[in-house]
Structure 1
Amino acid sequence: MNKPELLSPAGNLTKLKIALNYGADAVYASMGSFSLRQRSAKEFNPQSFEEGVSLTHKFGKKFYATINGFPSNAQLENLKKHIEFLGSIGVDAFIIASPSVINLAKNIAPDIEIHLSTQANVMNYLDAKVFYDMGVKRVVVAREIGLKDVIKIKEELPNLEIEIFIHGSMCFAYSGRCLISALQSGRFSNRGSCANDCRFNYEIYAKNDESGALFRLNEDENGTYIMNSKDLNLASHIEKIIKSGAVDSFKIEGRTKSEYYVACATNAYRMAIDDTINNKFNPEIYQKELHTLKNRGFTDGYLVSRPFEKKDTQNFDSTLEEGTHQVCAISEDGVSFKTKFKIILNESYEIFTPMDGVINEINNEIGKIYKKDGKFFVKFKTLKAKNNKEFSEIHSGNINEILLPTKLPKFSFLRKEI
């Protein structure tokens, strides 16, 4: 059984480290103004981007650079320099959407693999072959494709790698072809600066041109989130997809999402992939973890069901829903934590760590770490910062690093069920 790669988002250097520690086989990131996530691209500079590539390779993992925007004439000279830089630091692949950028990359950095972005909207083997003949090593197929068509592409082009999205935000428009943001705020989605106008609530009106009458159509007093797509979640179908033998890489969307999102999603799908290979697949476990995340409601999208059969892909009620857990703190070094929400004395917090993380039970003057129902928890007796200042409670925004009762695995989180 072929074991697909797990590809996680690296919105900044910290998220990259989290993805690697939680089991990603590869990460993808961008820098500058040439990808479709300019907000996360601004989190990197040339030095930190090169550091990220080096660190990824030290882990024995792969680093893919995203340059999947659609450049204007004015951007082309800077794009050439950008490709030169990415080639010089040894990224493992470029993720590209435009045929012209593919040609640029082949000429400027011929030794770097080319992966075709989902923005190119490959839905069939003939389209895939066009890009394969251009030198593309991997195709990230359109989110709207069905598994049968993915299998057909692999049958026709067995040497072409196929990557699919398995989790994350879904676009209301067909494969991201949307102008709402550009029309309303002048921010172009296909140049990486989408304002996510589809997530806003809207009021809908009916107008009679003859009489001039205008009627507001009420869903409720707040209007409606009519364009708000639910989030993709294919965790329950991982076994079926792997057994198809057609998919080489599973991709998690979310370069602009939180550190905890990267950790939790990577961890859940790492378990799902490994359990499938070891004949222990149990979707209830992975879904329970993924539902701890804030989300817009979940849908399994279009890979296993045809679009016209889906009637639950929109969340009309709210732009974002709370998950089952609140993330309260993160420990990057395993010695102390930074508060993300609120930590108070004598309250229990679940410890969430990478799968291979070792936690030791302890009871000392700082607090108690104990195991209950197969999970580890911490309860603080004192909240003491590295500078010895003590607190009765810690809230988000407090920059003090608070000591843990004992060393935990790096990038551990403290969370609490809501």
Structure 2
Amino acid sequence: MKRPELLSPAGNPEKLKLALAYGADAVYGGVSHFSLRIRSGKEFTYESFHEAVEYTHRLGKKIYVTINGFPFNAQIELLKKHISTMAAMKPDAFIMATPGVVRLSRELAPEIPVHLSTQANVLNYLDAQVYWDLGVKRIVAAREIGLKDLAGIKERLPELELEAFVHGSMCFAYSGRCLISSVQSGRVPNRGSCANDCRFPYTLYAKNEETDTLFRLEEDETGTHIMNAKDLNLAVHVEEIIQSGVVDALKIEGRTKSPYYVATTARAYRMAIEDALVGNFQPKRYEEELDTIKNRGFFDGYLVHRPFEKHQAQNLKTSIVEGSAQVFALVDESGSFFHAKDTVAPAQWYEVVTPYNAPFVAPMCNEIGEIKTAQGKTWLQFFQIETDLGKKLEAIHSGNTNAVKLPCALPPFSFLRK
């Protein structure tokens, strides 16, 4: 079986480093210009994104630039400058959504491969052929497509790479073509400023035109989340997807998600890929790990099932569900200190979650704390909380930005959770 590329979101420099440490082969992100995630794009400047490209390449991995917005005429000259600026950083590909922008990129920066965004909603080999003729190297397939249709595209265009989303938020609208937040708040989704209005609770009304009577329809007193799709989760189908032989890259959504989300999804899907390749696929293992992150409930989308076969694809009760674990700390890049994400106190055990293939953390004990192994996991408890400046505290809270000493060095970017 062919090993697919694992592609993770990089909403800022920290998330980029976490994704790569936890198993991603490649990351995608961008600055705010012409990106469909302006909120995360603002976390990168041109300078910091250039540093991100260099960091990624030093690890022997890839980074793709999102230029997948839908520009207006007045923005074309700015777009040309942006393409040239990003091309000078020598990323591994641009992700673009429209034929005109693709053609412009091939003219201005022919040395940079182009990947077609899922926003172009390619569902068949006819459209795929058009973009291939334009010079597109890879197509990020529409979320509504199935493996059989991808196989049909691959049969006719064997050199075209196909990328499929396997995890993350699902849009209420077809391939993300939504105007709800544009109507309600003036924030245009396909220009990068979606307000996630589909996640809000709404109250429904029925009106009798003859009597002008208005009836309120309700599931509960707060209204109903009628447009709130559950999150995509295809971890248990990774082996099937790889065996199909038609998917070249597995993509995780989530540039605006938390650092823990980025790390956990990369780690879970890396485990699933590697286990599948050696015939040791363990679906429950990946399910349990992904259940630790916040989500809207999970379903398996349309890649392995047809849309009419789907049931329970919406969460009608709430826009978010707490995960089964709470993150308390993130170890810094040195491995010697952590920063609190929740209250960390002595005499409590925290599970240590390390990056993919990180060195084994041996049991130990000193005046700062203790590390032990139990039930196949690594655990840590503190005897004292001491900052890098030598100040001792009874506990440390998430609002405290001081680095805190660990009893021993842990793999950089490890998490402490309960």
TM, length-normalised to structure 2: 0.99
Which residue identity is paired with 2:153? I
- For 2:410, which of 405, 408, 411 is the aligned residue? 408
Q: How does 1:117-132 map to 2 (within 5 A)?
A: 117-132=117-132
User: Using the alignment, how far apart are the partners of 1:217 and 1:57 within structure 2?
Assistant: 55
- State the 1:360 CA deviation: 2.3
User: Using the alignment, how far apart are the partners of 1:187 and 1:355 within structure 2?
Assistant: 38
1:19 aligns with 2:23: no
Q: 2:21·2:356 contact (CA, 8 Å) conserved in 1? A: no
- State the 1:309 CA deviation: 1.4
Show the counterpart of 2:393.
Answer: 391
Which residue identity is paired with 1:360? A
Q: What is the CA RMSD across the aligned residues, in angstroms?
A: 0.7
User: Using the alignment, how far apart are the partners of 1:332 and 1:254 within structure 2?
Assistant: 22
Show the counterpart of 2:133.
Answer: 133
Q: 1:351·1:378 contact (CA, 8 Å) conserved in 2? A: yes
Q: 2:188·2:194 contact (CA, 8 Å) conserved in 1? A: yes
User: Using the alignment, how far apart are the partners of 1:413 and 1:29 within structure 2?
Assistant: 23
- State the 1:29 CA deviation: 0.6
Q: 1:65·1:93 contact (CA, 8 Å) conserved in 2? A: yes
Q: 1:33·1:192 contact (CA, 8 Å) conserved in 2? A: no
Show the counterpart of 1:351.
Answer: 352
- State the 1:270 CA deviation: 0.3
Q: How does 1:3-18 map to 2 (within 5 A)?
A: 3-18=3-18
- State the 1:355 CA deviation: 2.3
Which residue identity is paired with 1:294? K
TM, length-normalised to structure 1: 0.99
Q: 1:33·1:191 contact (CA, 8 Å) conserved in 2? A: no
- Stretches of structure 1 that go unaligned for 5 or more consecutive residues are none
Identity of aligned residues (%): 59
Show the counterpart of 2:380.
Answer: 378
Query: What does the per-residue CA deviation read over 1:64-107, in whole Å, with 9 as the maximum and x for residues that have no partner?
Result: 00101100112111111110011111011000001110011001
Show the counterpart of 1:361.
Answer: 363
Q: How does 1:124-273 map to 2 (within 5 A)?
A: 124-273=124-273
User: Using the alignment, how far apart are the partners of 2:48 and 2:151 within structure 1?
Assistant: 38
Which residue identity is paired with 2:45? N
SS at match of 2:81: helix
Show the counterpart of 1:298.
Answer: 298
SS at match of 2:396: strand
Q: 2:371·2:380 contact (CA, 8 Å) conserved in 1? A: yes
- Stretches of structure 2 that go unaligned for 5 or more consecutive residues are none
SS at match of 2:71: coil
SS at match of 1:409: coil
Which residue identity is paired with 1:382? Q
Q: 1:138·1:160 contact (CA, 8 Å) conserved in 2? A: yes
Q: 1:181·1:195 contact (CA, 8 Å) conserved in 2? A: yes
Show the counterpart of 1:338.
Answer: 339
User: Using the alignment, how far apart are the partners of 1:355 and 1:27 within structure 2?
Assistant: 16
Runs of 4+ aligned structure 1 residues displaced above 4 Å come to none
Show the counterpart of 2:44.
Answer: 44
